[in-house]
Amino acid sequence: MTSEPQQMFSNPGNEPEVTAAWEAFLSGDGRPLETLRSLVDASWQRCLQAQVDPHARRGPQPVSDQDLFLLRERQREMLEASAPVMACARDFLSETGTLMALADTSGTILATEGDVRAIGSAETIRLMPGVSWSEDLAGTNAIGTALAVGQPVQIHSAEHFCEGIKRWTCSATVLRHPLDGEVVGVLDVSGLSQTYNRQTLALVVTAASRIENRLAASEMERRYRLLDHAVGRLARAGQDGVVLFDRLGCPIKANEHAADAIAAAGGELDLARARRLPALAAQRVGRGKLAGLPAWIRPEWLEPLVVQGEPMGTLLVVPTSARTRVPVPRPSAPAGAAPVAPPAADAFSSLVTADAGLQDVIAKARQLSRSRAPVLLHGETGVGKEEFARGIHGAGTGAYVALNCGGLSRELLASELFGYAEGAFTGARKGGMVGKIEAANGGTLFLDEIGEMPLDMQPNLLRVLEQGELYRLGENTPRKVRFRLIAATHRDLRQEIAAGRFRMDLYYRIAVTSLRIPPLRERRGDIPLLARFFLQRFRTEQGLEPGALSEEVVQALQAYAWPGNVRELRNIIEGAVLLSEGPVLTLDALPREFLETVQSAPSGPAAAPAGGVCSIAEGEEALIRRAIEASGGNLTLAARQLGIAKSTLYVKLQRYGLSRAGARA
């Protein structure tokens, strides 16, 4: 939407002045009158430069039926997304004297719906399917001008450049792809001049938004299918660097080796600010049309992914053999910043575990710490997501800045995240305030519980990630920022997207790489290990000699479900140390409510039936574990028992962080 409302709306009361301006403009006797909107003035200038006939009575000749069929086939996705909206137009525009038109990026109309009489009248000026209404062919009109300026426009009566369509009024807006904002078409509502209504433009914008939402849902479903199809190949990548591109050539997933592998191969691919690479579009790669590839990408590194006969994406696999031992340069600290101390030998040394699954996650996090790609951490409350975030940052430079997006009002979160200028609101700090994003410039920003971020604030964060600049609240001057984003959530963001509570484009921007941190109940062997670690730490802090856990305490800790995970265990041990009277921690020192919960819990886990597979109500994760155990680690058999595809099982194994060690593929 333009910031100048007068540029958007026509003024039907000044038609004589506009007509006089048009005549003066064509005669060359001077510039158009000041009453003419600059939007229209600029459009007329473009029409004059394109040598559009100002006395044309109608639009250009339509394309042939065969060419129109081919155009519609190429735009099938947009036509399918717009079908319900166009069907509604057939009803709510009936008897209004107006019609709705859907056009492609060349301005060629693909479909029309609406008032039957309006459609008939429109055909007299060739406002019908198969005709291009671009500015350079049909002069100033809502379809062509909206495409020219990339924003909603309303063109009324005499404002049209061509004489034959000056008795019409039209409102249009461009349709943009939900992932990268690229223009994919235009939606228009037109009628004879007497049907003019300022609200028509709002109707068009709302209808266009519905179409874009349907495009987003379709793209999300397509990406899920692609990820499901590719997850097995990603799991088998070994030390190779792998990047998954969608059908449009936009990177959506990378493994932990990708950034280093690409840099070592002499390439550059900023996974933190992903952009579409047309040369890697699925249709081109699948047909062997590799012209325009970046020089560092070898054609043999590309693997087209075809799902049920449809090209869905491309895998870029940079093999280990392509790497060199040239060190990858790291971003320097911003000018004027204080020197940063060298990172510790191992930033993850504070994580205590003997669990193979968690050790695998730590190894992956250690790999990711050497890149600048965004990381999304999945895990329940208390599993240690911030410890992982600090560990990933530990190998980098600059400041580490953390912000929890949950529990803050929308206004407070906005000011904390983006900062504000002096006087931005009542009570604003003198001199303004630096936001967390700006404070993280040159370093790492950790956004915990990002799933709690209000939906209307998410586009602002997405804009910062895409453009590398932010606006403080109350300021009009952008500030350049560059930082590494680590986000964390306990929510299933895919379900949040489906429910309309989280933006799909933001999800794919922050989840270039992702890690799932298993909850404490999945790594029972870590419970006594962590308990003893916390026991010694807190006794040392209290100036006490080393202590020990009684066997009864160990059994009680093992029997508990730990909904609060490591944080809850740490708090219980800390409280017990304060209440313990001797070096051996006994049951008497544990909280009464904790002991009551343990005593009321079943004596042991319910035994699985002979087949090893129980009801899905017991939990998908537990069900998958039992299926794999019952099949002896054979994933093909386990998938068959679960009634799902093997590729789907791979996705779920990755989602729950289940170890595949020893499983036979």
pLDDT in tens, 413-445: 988 899 888 777 666 677 788 889 999 998 999
Give the percent of the chain with pLDDT over 90.
38
If you average pLDDT over each of 392-396, 500-504, 615-619, which comes out highest? 500-504
Answer whether residue 327 shows pLDDT above 70: no
Answer whether residue 616 shows pLDDT above 50: no
Facing residues of 188 across strands?
101, 172
The vertex-24 CA angle with 22 and 28, nearest 5°, equals 120
Average pLDDT estimate for 483-511:
89
Average pLDDT estimate for 351-378:
88
Return the pLDDT at 15: 86
Cβ 604 vs Cβ 558: under 8 Å: no
- Would you call 645 helix, strand, or coil by DSSP? coil
Cβ 266 vs Cβ 459: under 8 Å: no
Per-residue burial over 485-505, b = 16 or more CB atoms within 10 Å of its CB, e = otherwise:
bbbbbbeebbebbeeebbbbb
Answer whether residue 614 shows pLDDT above 60: no
If you average pLDDT over each of 52-56, 332-336, 501-505, which comes out highest? 52-56
Please give the C-alpha separations between residue 659 and each of 480, 561, 663, in angstroms, as whole numbers. Answer: 42, 20, 9
Average pLDDT estimate for 298-310:
83
Average pLDDT estimate for 541-563:
90
If you average pLDDT over each of 56-65, 256-265, 511-520, which comes out highest? 56-65
Provide the sign of the torsion angle of the four alpha carbons 599, 603, 604, 605, taken in this order: negative
Q: What is the C-alpha to C-alpha distance for residues 247 and 230, in angstroms, rounded to an integer?
A: 13
Answer whether residue 325 shows pLDDT above 50: no
Return the pLDDT at 423: 74
Token pair for residue 540?
């040392």
Torsion of CA 356, 361, 366, 370, to 10 degrees: 150
Which run of H or E residues covers position 249?
none
Q: pLDDT tens-digit profile of 206-255?
A: 999 999 988 988 888 888 888 888 877 777 777 888 898 888 888 888 88
If you average pLDDT over each of 111-125, 263-277, 553-567, which comes out highest? 111-125
Average pLDDT over the chain reads 83
Answer whether residue 661 shows pLDDT above 80: no
Return the pLDDT at 395: 58
Cβ 443 vs Cβ 483: under 8 Å: yes
Return the pLDDT at 641: 66
More confident: 478 or 618: 478
Q: What is the C-alpha to C-alpha distance for residues 118 and 241, in angstroms, rounded to an integer?
A: 57
Answer whether residue 521 shows pLDDT above 50: yes
Return the pLDDT at 664: 41
If you average pLDDT over each of 172-181, 409-418, 491-500, 548-557, which comes out highest? 548-557
Of 340, 372, 366, 341, give the one whose Cα is nearest residue 351: 366
Answer whether residue 187 shows pLDDT above 90: yes
Please give the C-alpha separations between residue 505 and each of 69, 247, 311, 508, in angstroms, as whole numbers. Answer: 31, 15, 21, 5
Q: What is the C-alpha to C-alpha distance for residues 371 and 399, in angstroms, rounded to an integer?
A: 16
Return the pLDDT at 270: 72
| Band (183; pLDDT cuts 50, 70, 90) | very high
- R_g of the chain, CA atoms, integer Å: 31
Of 208, 241, 181, 235, give the one whose Cα is nearest residue 101: 208
Return the pLDDT at 396: 63
| Band (336; pLDDT cuts 50, 70, 90) | very low
DSSP 315-365: EEEE-GGG--SPPPP-PPPPTTPPPPPPPPS-TTTT-----HHHHHHHHHH
